[in-house]
Structure 1
C-alpha cells in the first residue's frame, strides 16, 4: 500500500509541474515572457546606392548633387541615414556628412548635398541607424564633378541704341569671353517691341563666328517702329548660359533704293558695321537693272555689284563721294573706288558712277 502511495504522489507532482507551463504551445513560456522584446537585437541591412550611377560625370552646372539609396531592411522603425562624401575611397578625406536623414516613404531615401568643388572626383556611401543600432555602410560609389565654366555676356556691336536700320537689320555682337574648357558656343538673338522682352517678335540662334556673330531676321519688321534687341551666349554641352547682353534699340526705316536692289541680288547690303544716316539724299539714274554684263576685258559679272551698291547707299545717306569711299575702307568693306571730282564720277573696276542731271547713272566702262 505504501508503494501505491508513493507512485500516486509522484504522478501528482508531475501534473502540478505541467500546470505551471502554458497550455498553449503557441504562447511563450513564463521565462520567455519575462525576457520580452528587450532580449531581441535590432538587425539593419546596409542601404544600396541608386543615384548618381557609379563613376558618372556630373556637369558643374548641374549641382547641387542629390544622393539616392534604396531603403535599408530593418526589424525596427524610425530608421535614419548617414551619408558621407569624400575625395578618397577610404573616406579619410571626408568633405560632407549628412546625418539623421529621415527615411523616405517610397522605398528610397534622398539627400541634397551642398555645392562641391568642381573638377574633382568624389566617393559616397550611406548607412542606416534605428533604435540605437547602427548598421554598416553600404558599397561606395564614385562620381566626378566637371570643371567650372563661366561665359560672359556678348558685347553688342550694331545696331547700337538710336540707330536707324532697314526692316531686316544685321544684329552683331562681339563673341563672349569665357573661362574654363567651354564647348561649342551658340548665340540666341531676340528682338522685341519693349525693353522688358515680354513679347518677342523675332528670335534666332546662330553658331559662333570668327571674332563676332550676327543674326538677320527672317522676315521684314514693321517700318518706322522702335525695337529692342539682346543676345545670349550658350554652351549647351556644359549647361552654361551667359547673362544677356546689354539691351540696344533701333528704329526701322523705309527700305533704301540700294537695299531693294540688294534684296533682288539675295545679298545683305551691310553684313558688318552699319553706316550712319538715313536715305533720301541721292537719286538712282539709269542702268541699275539687275543683269549679267561683260566687262571691257571679257569678265562676265552680275550687275550691279555689291561694292557699287554700297557706295551709292552711302551717297543716299548724305555722304560725299570721297567720304563714302573712306568710310567703307575704315569699316572693313573693301573697295577699289576712286573719286574724280573734276568730272563728278566714281570709278570702279568694271563700271563707274556718274552724276548726270542730279542722279547717279551706272555706266559700263569701255576700257582700262
Structure 2
C-alpha cells in the first residue's frame, strides 16, 4: 500500500465506515471489523449499528465478541481506555454482574475498583469469577511492585557508611566505576571492578521495628488509590523490618491489618463509596500508635472532609509534634494527578506535613525516604512532584 492509500485508509477509519460503504474505502476485512468495533462504542446511536450509528447492545455474548475484537486490534493500554469509555458511555457496569462477560474483559486497576464496589450486589457465581479476575490483577501488580518495594524498604540504607563487601543490590555503581577506571578493558569497552564500594544497611532489632500505618480513604473517588495501597500494605506486611497496618475508612472504619497475608481478601474487605470522616479515622490510628518516634502515618485521601476539618488539622499537628512522621498522599494512582480540597490541603501543608500525590512506581522510593526520616521535599523535587504549599 502506497503512502496515499495508507493516508486514505487512516482517514476512513478515523471518520467511520457507513454500512452501505463497508465494501469500499480500500479497507480490508480486518479494517472493517476494527471500524465496526469503534463505531459500536463511539457512534451516536443506542443499540444496533446503522447509518452513522452504533451500539454495544445488551447481551453478554455480543459484548464479549466486541471485547474480543478490540483486544485483537489494539494494545492493552488502549483496550483499557476503550473499556472504561464503554462502561461510562454505554451503561455496561451491570454487565460486570455476569460471569460470562466478566471472564472476557481486560482486567486492570480501574476494573478491580468497579468489581470491589459492586461485590455487595453480585450473585455468588459472579463473585467467584470476580475473585479470580482480582487475583490475576493482584498477581501482576505484585510482580511489578513487590521486589522494588522490598528492596527500597529493606534498603533504608545508611548512605553515610560504606563497605567494600556490599551485596549486589547495595553497590554504589558511580563510586565503584570511578574507583576502577584504571581497569578499563578497551577491547571489551567495559570496566572490570577490582574493588566494590557499597552502602551498609541499617540493622533493625525486632523490638525496634518502624511502625507504618496506611490510613486509606475508601470513598468512591479514591478507588484506584485503595487498590494500590492495599497491594503495598500486603507487600510491606511480608517484610520483617517494618510493622505494617492498613486502615480503610469512609464514615466507618475497617482495620484490615489481620488480612494482609492475602491481598485479594483485603480488597474484598474494602467497601468503596459512602461519605468521609477523616478525623475519626486518624483518631483511630492515633490510639494504636505505640512509639511515636518510630511511627509513620501515611494518610491517603483527597482531604474532602465530611467530618470535623478543624479537629483533623489539630490532630495531625499533635501527631507531628510528638514525633510521628506524617505524610498525606492526595492520590496513589498511575497518573499521579489528584482532585483534592485545596483549602484543607493548604492548612495541612502549613503544619510542615508533606502533602502531594504520587504514582505506584514512586511509592517505594517515598517509603524508603520516610523510613530514613529523610527529606521528603527533596525527594519529591527529584521526582518532579509538586508539593502542596501552605499559600495555595
Q: TM-score, normalised by structure 1?
A: 0.21
- Greater per-residue strand proportion: 1
Q: TM-score, normalised by structure 2?
A: 0.20
